[in-house]
């Protein structure tokens, strides 16, 4: 290995280590902010002030979700990921992913009672969280909606709809590329810094597909296809 290549590799490793340390250090103060804000929220009677505190709780939890996404992204870049397959209910996984302050008021689930399949529950929950966080950031108004395509028999098809302007087709692949968020932000598209790289990797490892499709109202839907 030449000195130049060694220097590049060392620099990349140090950059990744610095990012890991940064996201780790951000977790503790954000947790303190969220917990204290939740305690204050429960003691406030004034509706307008209470709503302000609720907004603080949601913002802190959204930041925490974005950091979790970055941690998964960095782990993928460094180590890859091992999966363990068990029978599971995809609806329960989605409900658990949505049951957090950052998403609870902003995502509407329109799902059947259950969707039985096999997979790694923790990995899929992390992937769905990344998808929903990105959808919330992309939604210009209204709530993100999640529904299934009941016409599909062989696959589980989950459609995540964020109301707002369509994502240009030329930019959609950037969500699934390392560092693709840089171009997205330069184009005025507010996806998460880690994009959907981890989410697509998890879906791919489960034998499925994750991609954007045109929505019925001129918007763009994120569509997940997983084998039953």
pLDDT in tens, the chain (228 residues): 555 444 445 666 666 666 666 666 666 777 777 777 777 777 888 888 878 887 888 888 888 787 777 777 777 666 566 778 889 999 999 999 999 888 998 999 999 888 888 999 989 999 999 999 989 888 867 889 999 876 566 788 999 998 878 888 998 999 898 778 888 888 888 777 777 988 998 999 899 999 999 887 778 899 999 987
Residues 111, 94 contacting (CB under 8 angstroms): yes
Instruction: For the chain, give percent helix, strand, coil, nearest 5.
Output: 55, 15, 30
CA-CA distance, 205 to 87, in Å (whole number)? 16
State pTM to two decimals. 0.80
CATH code 3.30.565.10 for 86-227 = yes
Which residue is it, tokens 């929220």? 41
């Amino acid at each position: 290995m030449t000195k130049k290549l060694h220097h590049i590799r060392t620099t990349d490793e140090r950059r990744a280590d610095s990012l890991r340390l940064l996201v780790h250090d951000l977790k503790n103060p954000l947790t303190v902010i969220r917990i204290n804000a939740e305690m204050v929220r429960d003691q406030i009677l004034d509706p307008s002030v209470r709503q302000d505190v609720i907004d603080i709780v949601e913002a802190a939890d959204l930041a925490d979700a974005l950091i979790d996404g970055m941690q998964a992204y960095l782990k993928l870049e460094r180590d890859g990921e091992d999966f363990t397959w068990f029978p599971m209910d995809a609806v329960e996984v989605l409900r658990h992913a949505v049951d957090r302050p950052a998403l609870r008021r902003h995502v509407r689930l329109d799902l059947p009672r259950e969707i039985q399949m096999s997979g790694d529950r923790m990995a899929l929950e992390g992937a769905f969280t990344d998808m929903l966080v990105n959808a919330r950031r992309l939604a210009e108004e209204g709530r993100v909606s999640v529904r299934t395509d009941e016409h599909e028999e062989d696959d589980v098809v989950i459609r995540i709809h964020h109301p707002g302007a369509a994502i240009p087709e030329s930019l959609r692949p950037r969500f699934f590329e390392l560092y693709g968020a840089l171009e997205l932000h330069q184009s005025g598209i507010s996806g998460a810094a880690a994009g959907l790289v981890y989410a697509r990797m998890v879906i791919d490892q489960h034998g499925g597909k994750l991609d954007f499709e045109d929505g019925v109202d001129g918007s763009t839907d994120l569509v997940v296809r997983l084998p039953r």
